[in-house]
Amino acid sequence: MRILSVAALGLMLSACASGHEPSLWQGYADHPAGYLATNSDFEALAFLPPPPEDGSLREQNDLAVYHATRAMKGRARWNQAAADAEIVTPSAPEVFSEALGVPFDPSRTPTLALLLGRMHADLEVIQASAKARYARPRPFVSEPADICVEAAPWLAESGSYPSGHAAMGWAWALILEELAPDRAEAILTRGLSYGDSRTICGVH
């Protein structure tokens, strides 16, 4: 991740030097491609352990946490989990604004926004094989209950392991804390809570 941090600084400096600002995107339809090739050998199956086995104590614990966090519906932390679910637009990292100590505004830092957006595309590539191999059902599919986002068909049909949002939140945090080292503790804490939001939401 330190290499990506250097890349972030380099991209921002080059943009300032050239006067060129990258254009921003609207959503999935025009989302920028990542840095990795779609057939990259770097994939999550090579380093992630499998999810808990059916009926195991770890799975039972996961389900217990899922049911316990349903009681958080309507609370501030539940609403934060819903906000953290938005990951595809240029403004998605604005949830790190408080941790950064300054507002994250993609219109003011389009090169940084593009870097973070392209990282999202890369993580999709990295996790795709593991998602397909394990095909772990999301908890709200096997045991229906309220979740913090719409239970859309595509969400119900996609695997819950590994969590792309959790990986993205931590990856963004690692980049941002390199750019604002004086805010590192707050940024990394926010990155962890970004991943926790997926459990609170009820999709992992």
> Which of 78, 105, 111, 73 has the alpha carbon at shortest distance from 92?
105
Q: Calculate the average pLDDT of the chain.
A: 89
Classify domain 2-11+54-201 at the CATH superfamily level: Phosphatidic acid phosphatase type 2/haloperoxidase (1.20.144.10)
57/44 Cα distance (integer angstroms) = 24
Could you report the per-residue pLDDT of 126-168, keeping only the tens digit for each? 999 999 999 999 999 999 999 999 999 999 999 999 999 999 9
21/186 Cα distance (integer angstroms) = 29
Domain ranges for the chain: 2-11+54-201
A 10 A CB-CB count for 167 gives 20
pLDDT of residue 6: 43
Instruction: Return the HEC string of 24-74.
Output: CCCCCCCCCCCCCCCCCCCCHHHCCCCCCCCCCHHHHHHHHHHHHHHHHCC
Contact 140, 67 (CB under 8 A): no
* Across 53-58, average pLDDT: 96
The yes-or-no verdict on residue 14 having pLDDT over 70 is no
